[in-house]
Amino acid sequence: MPRKIIRRFLPDLRGMLDRPSLRWISALPQDPNLLHLNRHSVSLAVFLGIFCAFIPIPIQTLLVISMCFWWGANLPIAMVIIWLSNPLTIPPMFYLTYKLGSYILGTEVHRLSFTLSWEWFSQLGADILLPLFVGSLLSGILLASVGYFFILFLWRWKVIRNWEKRKNLRNSH
């Protein structure tokens, strides 16, 4: 099962929540899907992690945590997936989403020059932030959907393969 493969790479969260320093959080997770590995919670966690990774805000981690609590996605997997946007990948990722947003909105791609002034900030908001958010939301939704359906397909494929393997094993005896 895919559950066994994924479980090898995840830390034991139940054990971590039993630590005295983290005991205050142990009452928070009431939904069993937050820590369980099933097709629904894992695919939803991949969707939320990829979507939040493309949102250009500094509180992506808090956003994905709250969305996991709200929709019952697997929290550790979503936390790992959100690191698609890390300090190495953020510049090219957001530049490409900015170019996509500029293309969709029909605006010109501006060269970014940095000067610390009020005019620069106002121009940044008008010229760069709107295309960045449009491109990021579109990219996040599209790539998160691809990830969601890919995990569903992969999970189903692995389960069917295991069934066939067990069936062949029974028939050979």
The better pLDDT of the pair 173, 60 is held by 60
Q: What is the pLDDT of residue 145?
A: 97
Least confident of 7-16, 19-28, 132-141, 149-158: 19-28
Is pLDDT at 11 greater than 70 in this prediction?
Answer: no
Helix ranges (H only) for 59-129 are: 60-71, 75-81, 90-105, 118-123
The better pLDDT of the pair 97, 26 is held by 97
Q: What is the CA radius of gyration of the chain?
A: 21
> Which two structure tokens, joined as six digits, stand for 85?
């946007």
What confidence category does residue 30 fall into, taking pLDDT thresholds of 50, 70 and 90? Answer: low
Q: What is the pLDDT of residue 170?
A: 87
Residue labelled with tokens 């940095």: 114
Going from the C-alpha of 110 to that of each of 70, 102, 103, 127, the distances in angstroms are 38, 9, 12, 8
The CA distance from 67 to 129, in Å, is: 24
Do 135 and 97 form a contact (C-beta atoms < 8 A)?
yes
Structure letter (DSSP) for residue 26: T
Element (H, E) at 107: none
Please tell me the pTM assigned to this model.
0.76
Q: What is the pLDDT of residue 37?
A: 84
Give mean pLDDT, residues 46-69. Answer: 91
Q: What is the pLDDT of residue 29?
A: 57
The CA distance from 5 to 161, in Å, is: 14
34 burial via Cβ count (<10 Å: 0-12, 13-18, 19+)? buried
Strand extents, DSSP E, the chain: none
Is pLDDT at 46 greater than 90 in this prediction?
Answer: yes
The helix/strand count (H/E) of the chain reads as 8, 0
Q: What is the pLDDT of residue 3?
A: 66
Where are the chain's structural domains?
Answer: 2-172
Q: What is the pLDDT of residue 171?
A: 87
31 SS3 class = coil
Q: What is the pLDDT of residue 169?
A: 87
pLDDT of 66-124, one tens digit each? 898 888 899 889 999 998 888 898 888 988 999 999 999 888 877 766 565 667 666 67
Do 14 and 34 form a contact (C-beta atoms < 8 A)?
no
Q: What is the pLDDT of residue 113?
A: 62
